[in-house]
Amino acid sequence: MSLADLSLVDLIGALVSFGLTLMVFSYVFGDNALFRLAIHLFIGVSAGYAAIVAFYNVVWPQLLIPLVFGPQAERLYVLVPLVLAGLLFFKVTPRFSALGNPTAAYLVGVGMASAVGGAVVGTIYPQVFASANLFDLQAAPQAGRLLYFVKSVAILLGTLTTLIYFYFGVQKSPGGAPEKGWIGPLTWIGQVFIAITFGAIFAGVYSAALMAFIERVYFIGDILLPLIFTP
């Protein structure tokens, strides 16, 4: 690859990417102005991109077009979110911030309802159904039913002991000591499953970060450096 193979726009983009990558890598030497500048650029570009996407996908087609070109009934309908959005701007000033409380309360309520509904429908129900169907040996292949049964027992044990740990693990007896008896070993097993889960999550995050780092190093070493040092 040579400079002649790239257009002017591609060349400028490659050089800007190269400079920003080096600015981020400068954090190796500690927090500095170049790293902060790169972070601020990233946050600014992300915020600008989110604002443009929100305008063209939400504000323009669902608010402005119905308000200007829609029938009268649709105009009256979109006045409700328009008024709520206008009230939200009063949160900028402490003197009139109370006027924006209804909109903020509405947003918080809708967000909490969506989160709870998503957790119940998207997580709890599938987890319960999956745990109930673990021992459906008819769905397992004939040759691997023993392994399927062992895996089902492990999944069910991890689910139950994790729930037991969160419910009983922090409970204290009247004397102040942790609960003993048959609950103690189960909570310990639950802790083991939680530790394994956190370890797997950390390994996944670390692997993703490492892949991003390798991609940036490849970008610098195999793409930009040959362009710079090609005679």
Same-domain check for residues 62 and 142: no
Residues contacting residue 133 through CB under 8 Å, at least 6 positions apart: 139
Written as six digits, the tokens of 136 are 């459906």
Burial of residue 191 (CB within 10 Å: 0-12, 13-18, 19+) is middle
User: Does 109 map to a domain?
Assistant: no
> Is 93 a domain residue?
no
Which domain-ending residue is among 45, 69, 93? 69
Give buried/exposed letters for 151-179 (b at 16+ CB in 10 A, else e): ebeeeeebbebbebbeeebeeeeeeeeee
Domain boundary among 31, 49, 69: 69
> What is the distance between the alpha carbons of residues 30 and 139, in angstroms, rounded to a whole number?
56
For the chain, which ranges sit under pLDDT 70?
1-6, 137, 139-140, 143, 169-181, 223-231
The answer to the question of residue 18 being in a domain is: yes
Predicted confidence at residue 180, as pLDDT, reads 56
Full residue range of the structural domain in which residue 158 is found: 136-231
| 223 shares its domain with 143 | yes
Q: What is the pLDDT of residue 129?
A: 81
In this predicted structure, what is the pLDDT of residue 49?
A: 96
Within-domain flag for 193: yes
pLDDT single digits (tens) 99-147: 999 999 999 999 999 999 998 888 888 878 877 777 776 766 776 777 8
Whether residues 62 and 147 fall in one domain:
no
Question: How many structural domains are present in the chain?
Answer: 2
Let me know: does 81 contact 63? Beta carbons within 8 Å: yes
On whether residue 198 sits in a domain, the answer given is: yes
Q: What is the pLDDT of residue 34?
A: 93
Task: Answer yes or no: pTM beyond 0.85.
Answer: no
pLDDT at 3: 52
Residues 8-21 as b/e (b if ≥16 CB within 10 A, e otherwise) read eeeeeebeeebebb
Tell me what pLDDT residue 199 has.
Answer: 95
126 vs 94: CA distance, rounded Å: 45
Residue 76 lies in a domain: no
Q: Does residue 31 form part of some domain?
A: yes
